[in-house]
Amino acid sequence: MRLHICAVGRLRTGPERALIDDYLQRFDRTGRALGLGPVLVHEVEDRKGGGMAAEAALLERALPQGAYVMVLDERGRQMTSPDFAAQMAGLRDGGRQDMALVIGGADGLSPAFRQRADAALSFGAMVWPHMLVRVMLAEQLYRAASILAGAPYHRV
């Protein structure tokens, strides 16, 4: 199952990019044998200032046809890392070809786009900077692959 990180904004060179690249490389090495990956990153930018609706339209175009869409939103469901890993495995085992993980812009995702999603995931009640959310998501993808592989990275 291919994974797609669809995000508003462009990631610049810096410590966040180094962390994301490291975790996604780790995921690729671990996930490949599990039928997970690669992770493709789709960045969109609303240069005309159209707000959440314009960002939603750009994100919609970035989504692969038939993908399971999970938005990252503070109103979403909080889950444990093993639960997240199990959900990914369930989608893969159920025949899904693509899973899209969507990160909105500074104002979040439009309500219509959130409602269109198959699921919403929260990294907690606090609001996180979007670049840190990308780092945390990349780490959780690697952690999920490690859990599914039975590797010792995740400790209970």
Task: Give me the mean pLDDT over the 5-18 stretch.
Answer: 94
On the question of pLDDT at 146 being above 80, the answer is: yes
pLDDT tens digits, residue range 88-115?
999 999 999 999 999 999 889 999 999 9
Task: Give me the mean pLDDT over the 136-155 stretch.
Answer: 94
- At residue 49, the pLDDT reads 82
On the question of pLDDT at 6 being above 80, the answer is: yes
Residue 37 belongs to some domain of the structure: yes
Say how far apart CA 126 and CA 71 lie, in whole Å.
16
On the question of pLDDT at 155 being above 80, the answer is: no
- At residue 130, the pLDDT reads 87
Residue 76 belongs to some domain of the structure: yes
Which tokens belong to 83? 């639960």
Residue 154 belongs to some domain of the structure: no
On the question of pLDDT at 156 being above 80, the answer is: no
pLDDT tens digits, residue range 124-133?
988 888 899 9
Under a CB-based contact definition with an 8 Å cutoff, are residues 24 and 39 in contact?
yes
Total structural domains in the chain?
Answer: 1
- At residue 127, the pLDDT reads 87
Domain of 90, CATH number, reads 3.40.1280.10
Residue 155 belongs to some domain of the structure: no
pLDDT tens digits, residue range 18-72?
999 999 999 999 999 999 999 999 999 988 888 999 999 999 999 999 999 999 9
Q: Is 35 helix (H, G, I), strand (E, B) or coil?
A: coil
Under a CB-based contact definition with an 8 Å cutoff, are residues 3 and 39 in contact?
yes
Residue 81 belongs to some domain of the structure: yes
Under a CB-based contact definition with an 8 Å cutoff, are residues 137 and 70 in contact?
no
Residue 106 belongs to some domain of the structure: yes
Structural domain harbouring 104: 2-149
Residue 91 belongs to some domain of the structure: yes
- At residue 122, the pLDDT reads 97
Element (H, E) at 39: strand 39-44
Residue 49 belongs to some domain of the structure: yes
